[in-house]
Amino acid sequence: MTRHLITHLRHIGIAMPDLDRQLTFYRDLWGLTEVANDTGVHFLAAEGSPERYILRLRRAARKRLDLMAFGAATAADVDELTSRLVADGVRLVHEPRALDTPGGGYGVRFFDGDGRVVEVSADVVPRTHRVIEPREPIPVRLSHFVVNSPAPEATVRWYTRHLGFRLTDSIGLPDTGELMWFLRCNAWHHSFAVSRAPHVALHHASFEMRGIDEYLRGTGRVLRAGVEKLWGPGRHGAGDNTFSYFIDPAGNTVEYTTELALVDEDTWHPTLFDATDEEIVDQWGTADPWSETLAARQFNDPDESLFVAPPL
């Protein structure tokens, strides 16, 4: 039996021209805490998470997904994963080494099949965090993120083969086939997902709230601030999690969620859900009907920096 070397989602990094507006949005409105600023890269943590940071922001001439980072249990696991990647011809950004980002640790970076930068690390010093109080509407952790791919079946195969992700469920249309694949690296229903789209880009990033009340209070705060709401509030069928999607200042989709399902890895079998079933799309029936217009907004702008590593 293959031993799974990826344990959990750590953080994602995004870059954009207007860094100041992005920083203000995520720090002052979305509810994250800035913990470091290294040569113009801003690192933001969730108060309820032991991860040193869950989001990093960087100024760049073009918007891009800088990287996505996952955890491994030990440095030896990072080395073992690297050996497997090299044997399979995966292109490394750098060999395993000591990391100079907040929390340090030992990690490797490489390109996935679409040209995104992936980091896997171990021995990162945990952040002192706290219990999020009742009615406190700020994120507890980074729940999951979703990427767009014009060849999603190949992208799913890449992550299941090289990083050991497992398919939990998928969702699609009867006449066109699967549209989104939900992948897990632990008992959470999904930490990562792949969506069919015309080009490579970030689909959305999702932030977990303490519970339903905190999720709704956070949703209301962002609405009152005049941020564009894309979709929600509602509750998905696949994953059983709540959703409120907004558009950040750079045009990325971000989500507040809570109560993502946990699965029994020994007994779980993937299900292909029908996206035309209203109960699958939104169990509550409180969100606007899903449409091709909403889907197109989540295609995002094409990432034009594929197979290019960020400077930090």
pLDDT at position 176, please? 86
Q: How far apart are CA 222 and CA 25, in angstroms?
A: 10
pLDDT at position 25, please? 98
Contact 198, 150 (CB under 8 A): yes
Q: What is the DSSP string of 142-195?
A: EEEEEEEESSHHHHHHHHHHHS--EEEEEEEETTTEEEEEEEESSSBS-SEEEE
pLDDT along the chain (312 residues), means of 10: 86 98 98 93 98 98 97 98 98 98 98 98 97 98 98 98 98 93 98 98 98 98 98 97 98 98 95 94 94 93 97 94
As given in the structure block, the two tokens for residue 167 are 């398919």
Q: How far apart are CA 89 and CA 110, in angstroms?
A: 11
Q: How far apart are CA 266 and CA 246, in angstroms?
A: 35
Q: What is the DSSP letter of 39?
A: T
Contact 9, 43 (CB under 8 A): no
Contact 218, 138 (CB under 8 A): yes
pTM: 0.97
Q: Where in the chain is the domain with CATH 3.10.180.10?
A: 8-122, 141-299
Phi/psi region, residue 104 (left: phi>0; alpha: psi -120 to 50; beta: rest), is left
pLDDT at position 141, please? 98
Question: Per-residue b/e over 125-136, b at no fewer than 16 CB within 10 Å?
Answer: eebebeebeeeb
Would you state the CATH architecture of domain 8-122?
Roll (3.10)
pLDDT at position 2, please? 62
Three-state secondary-structure class, residue 234: strand
Q: For every residue of 171-185, which 3-state class applies, written as one string? A: EEECCCEEEEEEEEC
pLDDT digits (tens, 9 = 90+) for 175-227: 889 999 999 999 999 999 999 999 999 999 999 999 999 999 999 999 999 99
In this structure, which CATH number among 3.10.180.10, 3.30.565.10, 3.40.50.150, 3.50.50.60 belongs to the domain 141-299? 3.10.180.10
Q: How far apart are CA 203 and CA 251, in angstroms?
A: 11
pLDDT digits (tens, 9 = 90+) for 20-59: 999 999 999 999 999 999 888 999 999 999 999 999 999 9
Please tell me the total number of residues recorded for the chain in this structure: 312
Contact 163, 169 (CB under 8 A): no
